[in-house]
C-alpha cells in the first residue's frame, strides 16, 4: 500500500488546509490511539508535545480528544523539543510520543510526527495501519473505558538533566561565552539552561516566542542574527537551533557559519582521537563531498542515505554505526539518542573544543568544503524530472562541464513544495553558473 498522508517526517502542511485541520487531527489521534493500544507495548499512555507555534494549542486539544476517545491515556508535555519527546517516550515507558511541529517551517505550517515507545520514528507498516483507521468512522470508547489526560510538570527538567548527563560527571564549560539562538521555538526554556548549568556564560536570543515568530529571521535556517550577536559580544561560539530543536548549526568566534557536515566531522574526529565509538558515519545525498574526503583521511567509513533523518538512521542501523546526520544540522549520535538532537549534538562539539583546547575554527581546519550551491524551485504539483528531456539534457551538460570534479543532484523536498537543485564542484564560479542554468530549466517546466 502507498501512504496517503505520511511523508518523510510525519504529516505536514499549511494550517487550515487538509490534512492539517482540526477534524483530521482529531481523527488522527483516535486512529493512533487504536493502533498503539493494540500493540500491548508499554503503558497505556501516549505523550503529546509541541513547539511554540500558535496553532499548537488547537491541535494539542484535538489529539488529546481523539486519543482519549480511543481509550488511551494522554501525557501532555507542553512546548518541548522533538528529541525530548523521543527521550521521554522511552523513560515513561509510553506506547508512543507525538510531536506537533513543522520543524524549521514558518508559523503558518504545522505537522504531526510520531515516535514509538522505543524513541524511534515509526516504521512504514505502523504508519500504514494508522492510515487504515483514518478510513473508518470514529467509535468512542465507553465512559468507563475512556483515557485520561495528565499534564507532565517536570518534562523540561527531565530533558535538561538528560542532556547534561551526556557529558562526563563534573564536566564544565566554565570560561566559555556561548550565544544560544532558540529560534523562538521549542528549546527556548531548556537549551540556555543546559549551557548555563554546565558553567558557560550564556547570551540568549530567540527565546521570546509569541506563537508567530518561530524560525522568523533567527535559528538554524537564518543564522545571520546569531552571527551578528557573536561578533557583538565577543563570544567563543554561537549555537543555532531550529523551531523544534532537532537541528543545530554553529557560528565560530570569527563569525563563520559551521554547518552540519562540519559538525559531523568534528564529532567523528574527536571520537577517533579519544577512543570513543566511531565505526562509520552516515550522511545523505546532500552531504558535501569534502566531508567524505575528510572522513577518509581519518579512516572513517562513510555512506550516503536518502535525505531525511529516518533514512540516515536506517543506514546507521544497517552498518551498526554510531554517528550520522545531514548538512542542515540533523546530527544523530546513535549511542546517546534515537533521533536528531540539536542540544546533544552541540554539547558533543563543545566538549571537543574544551578537551582539545582548540577554537571551533581550529577544529574545522581539517575539513575543506567544496563549493556547493542549492536553489529551491517552487512547485504546485509533483513533477517527473527523470523523464523530462530538457531537464535531463541540462543535467548531462552540467556533468560534462564538471568533468568528474563535482556532482549534480535534483530532488523533490519531502517537507516543502519545492524541487531542490544542487551543484557541487571544485570551481565555485562554474558551480554557480550551472546551478542557475538547471534551476531555470526546472522552473520553465513547472511553470
Is the distance from CB of 110 to CB of 102 less than 8 angstroms?
Answer: yes
Q: Please state, in angstroms and as integers, the Cα–Cα distance from residue 183 to each residue in 194, 237, 252, 275, following that order.
A: 16, 16, 18, 35
**Beta strand residue intervals within 62-220, DSSP E:** 73-79, 96-100, 109-116, 149-151, 177-181, 201-205
- Mutual angle of helices 155-164 and 82-91, in 10-degree steps: 100
What is the Cα–Cα distance from 129 to 183, expressed in whole angstroms? 34
**Beta strand residue intervals within 124-260, DSSP E:** 149-151, 177-181, 201-205, 237-241, 248-252, 257-258
Candidates 1, 2, 4, 10; CA nearest to 415 is 10
103 is catalytic: yes
**DSSP letters along 390-423, please?**
HHHHHHHHHHHHHTTSEEEEEEE-SSSSEEEEEE
Q: Under 8 Å CB-to-CB from 165, ≥6 apart: which residues?
A: none
What is the Cα–Cα distance from 88 to 82, expressed in whole angstroms? 10
Is the distance from CB of 120 to CB of 106 less than 8 angstroms?
Answer: no
Candidates 435, 425, 438, 436; CA nearest to 394 is 438
Q: Under 8 Å CB-to-CB from 193, ≥6 apart: which residues?
A: 160
Of these residues, 103, 220, 328, 337, which one is catalytic?
Answer: 103
**Could you count the other beta carbons within 10 Å of the beta carbon of residue 411?**
16
Candidates 293, 283, 236, 239; CA nearest to 261 is 283
Residues designated catalytic: 103
Amino acid at each position: 500500500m502507498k501512504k496517503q498522508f505520511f511523508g518523510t517526517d510525519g504529516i505536514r502542511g499549511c494550517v487550515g488546509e487538509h490534512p492539517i485541520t482540526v477534524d483530521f487531527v482529531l481523527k488522527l489521534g483516535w486512529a493512533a490511539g487504536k493502533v498503539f493500544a493494540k500493540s500491548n507495548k508499554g503503558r497505556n499512555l501516549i505523550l503529546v508535545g509541541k513547539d511554540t507555534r500558535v496553532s499548537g494549542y488547537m491541535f494539542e486539544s484535538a489529539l488529546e480528544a481523539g486519543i482519549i476517545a480511543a481509550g488511551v491515556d494522554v501525557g501532555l508535555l507542553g512546548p518541548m523539543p522533538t528529541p525530548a519527546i523521543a527521550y521521554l517516550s522511552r523513560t515513561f515507558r509510553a506506547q508512543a510520543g507525538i510531536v506537533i511541529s513543522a520543524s524549521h517551517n514558518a508559523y503558518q505550517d504545522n505537522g504531526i510526527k510520531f515516535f514509538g515507545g522505543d524513541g524511534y520514528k515509526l516504521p512504514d507498516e505502523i504508519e500504514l495501519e494508522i492510515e487504515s483507521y483514518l478510513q473508518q468512522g470514529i467509535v468512542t470508547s465507553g465512559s468507563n473505558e475512556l483515557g485520561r489526560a495528565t499534564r507532565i510538570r517536570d518534562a523540561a527538567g527531565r530533558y535538561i538533566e538528560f542532556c547534561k548527563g551526556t557529558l562526563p560527571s563534573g564536566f564544565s564549560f566554565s570560561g566559555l561565552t556561548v550565544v544560544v539562538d532558540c529560534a523562538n521555538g521549542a528549546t527556548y526554556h531548556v537549551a540556555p539552561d543546559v549551557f548555563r548549568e554546565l558553567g558557560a556564560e550564556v547570551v540568549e536570543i530567540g527565546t521570546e516566542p509569541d506563537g508567530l515568530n518561530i524560525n522568523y529571521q533567527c535559528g538554524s535556517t537564518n543564522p545571520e542574527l546569531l552571527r551578528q550577536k557573536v561578533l557583538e559580544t565577543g563570544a567563543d561560539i554561537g549555537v543555532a537551533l531550529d523551531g523544534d530543536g532537532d537541528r543545530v548549526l554553529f557560528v565560530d568566534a570569527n563569525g563563520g557559519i559551521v554547518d552540519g557536515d562540519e559538525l559531523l566531522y568534528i564529532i567523528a574526529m574527536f571520537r577517533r582521537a579519544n577512543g570513543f565509538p566511531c565505526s562509520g558515519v552516515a550522511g545523505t545525498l546532500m552531504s558535501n563531498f569534502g566531508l567524505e574526503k575528510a572522513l577518509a583521511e581519518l579512516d572513517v567509513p562513510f555512506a550516503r542515505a536518502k535525505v531525511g533523518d529516518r533514512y540516515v538512521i536506517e543506514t546507521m542501523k544497517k552498518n551498526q554505526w554510531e554517528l550520522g546526520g545531514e548538512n542542515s544540522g540533523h546530527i544523530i549520535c546513535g549511542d546517546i539518542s534515537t533521533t536528531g538532537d540539536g542540544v546533544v549534538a552541540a554539547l558533543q562539539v563543545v566538549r571537543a573544543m574544551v578537551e582539545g583546547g582548540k577554537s571551533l575554527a581550529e577544529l574545522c581546519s581539517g575539513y575543506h568544503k567544496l563549493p556547493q550551491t542549492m536553489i529551491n524551485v517552487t512547485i504546485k504539483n509533483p513533477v517527473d524530472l527523470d523523464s523530462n528531456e530538457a531537464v535531463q539534457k541540462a543535467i548531462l551538460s552540467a556533468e560534462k562541464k564538471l568533468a568528474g570534479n563535482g556532482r549534480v543532484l535534483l530532488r523533490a523536498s519531502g517537507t516543502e513544495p519545492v524541487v531542490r537543485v544542487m551543484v557541487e564542484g571544485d570551481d565555485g564560479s562554474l558551480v554557480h553558473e550551472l546551478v542557475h542554468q538547471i534551476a531555470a530549466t526546472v522552473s520553465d517546466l513547472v511553470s
